[in-house]
């Protein structure tokens, strides 16, 4: 298979990647046939998956703008994926000129792409690190350069926690990050759930199995399990809700049913 110029030498392009599959759902061009094949297989069970991903991105943009309006000027986006139109730094820096943004991902394609997109942007950077190792993220040179942990930070965990298995202690990682942030910081989060998916759990499970097969299990959590990530935060209105219902800018009833396949929420530390 031909290796495009944007694909770092170190990656195995015969193995699907979660961030490249997500890029495909969003209509991006940084994915391989192996990623597209896995995405199509998942869509055999859940044809509206691209709508779910678009709802994630739309929530992300609304929440980043909200954080900016609330006076937050620093954004830490963990599991940021491959940059697409309307990324965090574009939204944040339009809302708050000079906002500082650090993206974090462990996918080499996502990191290489973010570096290319951010070239020449002094107030945004990308760190190669893993959500499961919060101390590595906080100690990374990019975070140390751009994020002042003594001032409020918006921590973004959008469509990432459902790829962290309970054995890897996602609750512990989220709590460790919370404890490192200044009072007044925000957690901006989305998470996949069987609740709200407009197909039977058996069909949805077929899509989940595709991720299991590519060694990136998708962990569906209930609303109560997702709410636990917000321990230590006060929920911002309207609380933890299906993605299109969080401070919508257009009529939620016009949304595709698959847009409701997951929860979104924003919390703030006192």
Q: What is the pLDDT of residues 39-68, one digit of tens each?
A: 999 999 999 999 999 999 999 999 999 999
Q: Which of 180, 78, 188, 83 is nearest to 132 (CA)?
A: 78
Report the distance separating Cα 182 and Cα 180, nearest Å. 7
Q: What is the DSSP string of 31-50?
A: --HHHHHHHHHHHHH-TTHH
Confidence of residue 1 (pLDDT cuts 50, 70, 90): low
Contact (Cβ atoms closer than 8 angstroms) between residue 19 and residue 109? yes
Whole-Å CA distances, 91 to 28, 44, 63, 115, 268: 19, 33, 10, 18, 20
What average pLDDT score do residues 63-84 get? 95
Q: What is the pLDDT of residues 207-245, one digit of tens each?
A: 999 999 998 899 999 999 999 999 999 999 999 999 999
Report the distance separating Cα 203 and Cα 28, nearest Å. 26
Give Cα 26 distance to the centre of its chain: 13
Q: Which CATH class is domain 48-199+222-268?
A: alpha beta
Confidence of residue 12 (pLDDT cuts 50, 70, 90): confident
Question: What confidence score (pLDDT) does residue 30 get?
Answer: 87
Q: E strands within 192-243? A: 234-235, 241-242
Report the distance separating Cα 240 and Cα 64, nearest Å. 16
Report the distance separating Cα 224 and Cα 220, nearest Å. 12
How would you class 252 by CB atoms within 10 Å of its CB: exposed for 0-12, middle for 13-18, buried for 19 or more? middle
Q: Which of 122, 85, 88 is nearest to 103 (CA)?
A: 88
Q: Which residues of 136-159 are buried (b: 16+ CB within 10 A; e: fewer)?
A: bbbebebbeebbeeeebbbbbbbb
Question: What confidence score (pLDDT) does residue 210 get?
Answer: 96
Percent of the chain that is helix, strand, coil (3-state, to 5):
45, 15, 40
Q: What is the pLDDT of residues 93-146, one digit of tens each?
A: 999 999 999 999 998 889 988 998 899 999 999 999 999 999 999 999 999 999
pLDDT more than 90, % of the chain: 87
Q: Which of 68, 97, 27 is nearest to 156 (CA)?
A: 68
- The domain segmentation of the chain, as residue ranges, is 48-199+222-268
Query: Pairing state of beta strands 154-158 and 186-191?
Result: parallel
């Amino acid at each position: 298979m031909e290796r495009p110029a944007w694909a770092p030498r170190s990656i195995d392009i015969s193995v699907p990647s979660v961030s490249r599959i997500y890029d495909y759902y969003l209509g991006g061009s940084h994915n391989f046939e192996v990623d597209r094949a896995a995405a199509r297989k998942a869509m055999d069970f859940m044809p509206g998956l691209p709508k779910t991903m678009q709802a994630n991105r739309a929530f992300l943009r609304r929440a980043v703008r909200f954080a900016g309006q609330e006076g937050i000027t620093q954004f830490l986006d963990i599991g940021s994926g491959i940059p697409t139109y309307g990324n965090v730094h574009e939204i944040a820096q339009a809302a708050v000129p000079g906002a500082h943004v650090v993206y974090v991902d462990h996918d080499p394609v996502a990191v290489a792409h973010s570096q290319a997109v951010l070239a020449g942007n002094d107030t945004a950077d990308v760190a190669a690190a893993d959500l499961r190792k919060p101390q590595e993220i906080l100690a990374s040179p990019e975070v140390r350069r751009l994020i002042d942990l003594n001032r409020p930070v918006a921590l973004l965990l959008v469509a990432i926690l459902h790829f962290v298995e309970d054995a890897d202690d996602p609750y512990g990682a989220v709590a460790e990050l919370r404890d490192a942030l200044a009072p007044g910081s925000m957690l901006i989060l989305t998470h996949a759930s069987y609740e709200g998916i407009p197909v039977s759990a058996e069909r949805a499970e077929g899509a989940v199995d595709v991720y299991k097969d590519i060694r990136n299990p998708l962990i569906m959590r209930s609303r109560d399990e997702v709410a636990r990530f917000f321990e230590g935060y006060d929920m911002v209105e309207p609380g933890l809700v299906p993605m299109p219902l969080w401070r919508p800018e257009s009529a939620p009833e016009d949304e595709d049913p698959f847009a409701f396949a997951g929860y979104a929420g924003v919390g703030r530390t006192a």
